[in-house]
Amino acid sequence: MASLSLQHIYKKYEGGVVAVSDFNLEIADKEFIILVGPSGCGKSTTLRMIAGLEDISEGEIYIGDRLINDVLPKDRDIAMVFQNYALYPHMSVFDNMAFGLKLRKLPKDDIKRRVSEAARILEIEHLLERKPKALSGGQRQRVALGRAIVRDPKVFLMDEPLSNLDAKLRVQMRVEITKLHQRLQTTIVYVTHDQTEAMTMGTRIVVMKDGFIQQVDSPTELYEHPVNTFVAGFIGMPPMNFINASIHVEDNVVYVAFENTTIKLPARYSIPEVLDHDGKEIIFGVRPEAITDDATYVSQHTVTGFSADVDVVELLGAETYLYVTVNGSLPLTARVDPTTSQSRVGEVVALAIDANRIHLFDKETEQSIIS
Amino acid sequence: MRNRNEPKLTSLSASLRARTVMIYVVVGLLALLSIFPFYYMFINSSYSSYHILKQMNLLPGTIKQLVMNIKSLSGHPEFNFAIGFENSLIISTAATFLSVYFSALTAYGIKVYQFKLRNAAFLFIMVVLMVPAQVSITGFVTEMMSMNLIGTKWPLIIPALAAPGTVFFIKQYLDSSLSLDIIEASRIDGANEFYTFNRICLPIMVPALATMAIFSYVANWNNFFTPSIILSRLQDKTLPLMVYGLYSDRFTDYGQVFAGLSISVLPLIVVYLFLQRFIIQGVSAGSVKE
């Protein structure tokens, strides 16, 4: 186990393409760090630089106190789990898992003990004699995990390990990897484009876009306090509603106006950063669950209420998504309680925003106004 | 009520059947064309030279004549099966091993490593593929003479290292069946490059290697042109050269020639039977998910 330090990391390709720019991150020992972002954001490149599979154009990477920029992958004491498993097709599950140990010339008894232990943890003891082609997708991914576990490396690197599994298996493996982290107490760097995986597994999440870190925070902080519209829109499903609005201040009270609606914000928003935007255009962010059609709530919160036309109602069992249009032009999504929601397609519905859970972003910089 | 689709289906199945029959006829004819020369060779080894020249024989002759033809081979001054077999075996085995192994290394290098002029290197190999061996034979023989290697097996073995056709075939196979993630997994597991090639990549390549080994072995075993220039003494000659020695300006015993030819191709059939079981598709199935 070890900490990991990435200092001013750049990855520049021939032709001037910059995949990763000034990446700075301190990963503590035993931390489960998630690198998340859309395709091409540089998350996998960063992971591959940590693994030693890509050269580092600039910057320094340390595992513990050791600078590893010029250390070969085999000497970095890391293990990696690939998206497509990357098992050795001609070897049995046992040999796949034992491969790295044999190369390190460990005693046979030790190899057998370690492989058996990992197989027991991953519940693949009965598969040890099989070849990869005789395994299901989930079993193959377990073997790939097992191959990493037996090595007892300082850092685990996982490159979208669940992407090739079906939805049900993905949820199951997600839980198992989380349990594995709790059990092994090891440092994990995990790359994914799936924000659900990021939110549920990581102790901290690094959101990336176009090679730049956007925000590094715990899942809760990231969700509650996104630093910009990109992070706010990327984290959360359905995504946050972004509304072009303007701020008006009267008697130190902040009002947000959009379409033909004006809502009053609670006193806690009367801070200099917000007050400075008086009369300015902003981006008003509201998560779908902060909009409700609950009649009692709406009647009690008229200052944040508005009406909208219901376009689509999606019943998902535990929750309902309302796709509505305000003033005939502003589409919004609301996540409401199916047990209380009375909204029907084609009707005009009264909605209210939970003003304590809104976000304000600068129109030009798209950065959050509320720090 | 009669199903409206029924006549349509019937005509579809009839047309499918007709197509299948057509395919079988064409494939059967092609198979016959391929097999017939071998059949003709084996059949004629059981006839006397007189009967071979007199008529076209389509049915086997006598065992007695076959034995006579084979026995006459052993008495021929230009034919020694044991020596010819040994020479052919050494040259073909060594050349096949070298061509397949080093071609695999080359293809692996081009596939796995990113380096400047990688595409140019591959293109150069392709260009070499277009040049027939006969074009360079004068220079090759002169070079071998200067190195004092004429009359030895080396000129027939060492050049097998460079086999552009084999490189091309293996490279194409790797493009479709080798995921670079497997190579990277092996590196992270602690293997060096050579170990990764030998222990991880070569086993994945086995179907391509077996296919190329068959081609290479057959080509080297049957090679007549270069050995005829390099080898002159009887104790150095390969089987095809010895069979050629059965021809004479005055009298050629064709029964003997066909028997010699039949004996000389038998080892090839054994090699084919041994290697063809390795040509199985999907050896890397389950290794990575595309």
* The domain over range B72-286 is classified in CATH as 1.10.3720.10: yes
pLDDT value of residue B284: 45
- What is the percentage of chain B residues whose pLDDT exceeds 70? 92
Cβ neighbour number for residue A271 with a 10 Å cutoff? 13
In the predicted structure, residue B215 carries a pLDDT above the cut 60: yes
Q: Which residues of A touch B182 (CB under 8 A)?
A: 86-89
Nearest CA in chain A to B192: A74
- pLDDT, tens digit (0-9, with 9 covering 90-100), for B146-188: 999 998 999 999 988 888 999 999 999 999 888 999 999 999 9
Q: Which residue intervals of chain A are DSSP H helices?
A: 43-51, 93-103, 108-122, 137-149, 167-184, 195-201, 219-224, 229-234, 272-275, 295-300
The answer to whether A73 contacts B282, with C-beta atoms less than 8 Å apart, is no
Residue B10 has pLDDT above 70, yes or no: no
Give the pLDDT confidence score for residue A110 in this predicted structure.
Answer: 94
Contact A84 B290 (CB under 8 A): yes
Kindly report, residue by residue over B87-136, the tens digit of the pLDDT: 999 999 999 999 999 999 999 999 999 888 899 999 998 898 888 878 88
ipTM: 0.84
Quote the DSSP letter at residue B49.
Answer: H
| pLDDT level of residue B5 (50, 70, 90 thresholds) | low
A234, A235, A236, A240 alpha-carbon torsion, rounded to 10°: -50
| B chain contacts of residue A80, beta-carbon cutoff 8 Å | 184-185, 188
Closest-CA residue of A relative to B113 is A53
Residue B131 or residue B35, greater confidence: B35
Q: Indicate the pLDDT class of residue B273, thresholds 50, 70 and 90.
A: confident
For chain A, say whether B290 makes contact (Cβ under 8 Å): yes
**Distance between CA atoms of A340 and A360, rounded to whole angstroms?**
29
Nearest to A73 among B187, B287, B290 (CB): B187
Contact A73 B184 (CB under 8 A): yes
Residue A370: predicted pLDDT: 83
Whether residues B187 and A147 touch (CB distance < 8 A) is answered with: no
Contact A89 B285 (CB under 8 A): yes
Nearest to A86 among B181, B190, B285 (CB): B181
Say yes or no: B65 contacts chain A, CB-CB below 8 A.
no
CB contact under 8 Å between A133 and B189, yes or no, is no
The closest alpha carbon to A308, from A288, A331, A284, A335, belongs to A331
Residue A72 neighbours by CB under 8 Å, 6+ apart? A52, B187
The answer to whether residue B203 neighbours chain A at the CB level (below 8 Å) is: yes
A54: closest chain B residue by CA: B184
- Among A88-97, B51-60, B201-210, name the most confident range: A88-97
Q: What is the three-class DSSP state of B101?
A: helix
**Cβ A84–B289 below 8 Å, yes or no?**
yes
CA-based end-to-end distance of chain B: 49
Spatial separation of the C-alpha atoms in residues B229 and B139, rounded to whole Å:
13
Residue-level pLDDT at B128 = 86
- The confidence band for B287, taking pLDDT boundaries of 50, 70 and 90, is low
Nearest one of A244, A245, A239, A243 to A288, comparing CA atoms: A239
Residue numbers of B between 231 and 270 with CB closer than 8 Å to A: none
Q: Under an 8 A CB cutoff, do B189 and A99 touch?
A: yes
CA neighbor of A32 nearest in space, from A196, A189, A224: A189
**What is the reported pLDDT for B78?**
82
Q: Would you say residue B9 has pLDDT above 80?
A: no
Shortest distance between the Cα of B229 and any Cα of chain A, in A, equals: 44
| Interchain CB distance below 8 Å, B286 and A133 | yes
**Under an 8 A CB cutoff, do B288 and A86 touch?**
yes
pLDDT of residue A371: 67
Residue B8: pLDDT band with limits 50, 70, 90: low
Given a contact cutoff of 8 angstroms between Cβ atoms, the answer to whether A324 and A310 are in contact is yes
Instruction: Please state the pTM of the whole predicted model.
Output: 0.81
CB of B149 within 8 Å of a chain A CB? The answer is no
pLDDT of residue B6: 56
CB contact under 8 A, A73 and B287: no
Please list the ranges in chain A whose pLDDT falls under 50.
Answer: none
